[in-house]
Structure 1
């Protein structure tokens, strides 16, 4: 009969969707990736919307979000300590958000 390791560490995760400071920080980093005159003309009415935002112990940040400028909508993922601009559409953004949230709640 096998034994179970009772000391096995399980990574904890925390939903940070209401963490305003973290969301602003990620949005500001993403905005630095965009180019004025090409990706936006004016940031005055720019919107940032998060699909999900978790901090996972031993991994870091896991997030999917979009920035809507006066020119276009841009999608981003934050994983561990990286932010990547994604080439996806709104349907994929919504489906991925739904799947991730169903697996992590």
Structure 2
């Protein structure tokens, strides 16, 4: 397996913005949020592997927390059964393997 590459500061900021905006567009008004004004995004990790961004992050709305994963160039909304405990465990595993960087 090819080791992940760390992103530069500018590259990291741009990727976070793209992933966050895309994820927010996937949320359904009424089901996932009432008002987006207080919505925030928290990233567990982001890295580059084989020229594709890989990430695990969560979008926190006024109604719920929605988890997303980016893999092999695709963004996926994780099932509502995915938990904070699973999120933290996966992040810790990735940090252990790739180092302590987003």
Question: Which structure is richer in relative contact order (CA contacts within 8 A, separation 6 or more)?
Answer: 2
Contact 1:65 1:76 in 2 (8 A): yes
5+ residue gaps, structure 1, are: 1-9
Cα RMSD for the two superposed structures: 1.8
TM-score by length of 1: 0.82
Query: Which residue does the alignment assign to 1:20?
Result: 13
Which is higher, the Rg of structure 1 or of structure 2?
1
Aligned partner of 1:31 among 21, 24, 28: 24
Contact 2:55 2:69 in 1 (8 A): yes
How do 1:74-89 residues align onto structure 2 when only pairs under 5 Å count?
74-87=66-79, 88-89=82-83
TM-score by length of 2: 0.84
Aligned length: 95
Aligned partner of 1:70 among 55, 62, 66: 62
